[in-house]
Amino acid sequence: MKKKALEETNETEPSGYARESRPEKVVARLRPHARVLAWPTLLLFALAGATGYYFGNLPEPWQNAALLAGAIVLAVLGWLLPLAAWLTKRYTITTRRIIFRHGFFVRTRQELLHSRGYDVSVRQNWVQAGFHSGTVLINSGLEHPLILKDVPNVDLVQSTLHDLMEQASTVMGSRRQEQSALAAESAFWGRR
């Protein structure tokens, strides 16, 4: 009877890993601050104005075509590529981990579990401080820290990461205590 109760409270999968009793929830989905698109957007407006002013006023038809082709190339290089680069960077913070995705042609995904513990530091320059953004450096003891560049509401992100890491460490500590208690009880049952 007592052994059956122990088996019911044991929350391990057949592989031996502990099951999480709570489902993983998304806390925040972030991108770098949108102000990085300010200069490309100003370039696009200036390019559209200059192209609209000079197109049709040039003496030769091939010059008008070259102006239009040059404007399209500059719009792609100066506005569309920075926009695509901004859209491909995404930081997702869940109740269990941090997920960092980036890359356009080659996609890269990095994950860091809160239960492993890490050090969170924030770096801000004066422009970022004016917009309440900053760069979050997450050092987990690996070679390269995970860098979340130019995150909006950087103070809120830092405090949330500290809270999630503390919550994960208390959950892991309680699990370790439960597992050691179960191991001690099963060792008692094993002796005869």
| pLDDT for the residue numbered 184 | 57
| pLDDT for the residue numbered 172 | 60
| pLDDT for the residue numbered 167 | 85
Beta strands 26-30 and 119-123, pairing class:
unpaired
Could you list the mean pLDDT of each consecutive 10-residue stretch along the chain, which spans 192 residues?
42 46 86 93 96 91 94 96 94 92 89 86 92 90 83 91 85 62 56 50
CA 11 to chain centre: 30
Give the strand order in the sheet containing 119-123: 119-123, 133-139, 146-152
Provide the token pair at 116: 């492993």
| pLDDT for the residue numbered 177 | 61
| pLDDT for the residue numbered 13 | 46
In contact, 64 and 55? CB cutoff 8 Å = yes
| pLDDT for the residue numbered 114 | 87
Q: Which of 34, 40, 26, 25 is nearest to 153 (CA)?
A: 34
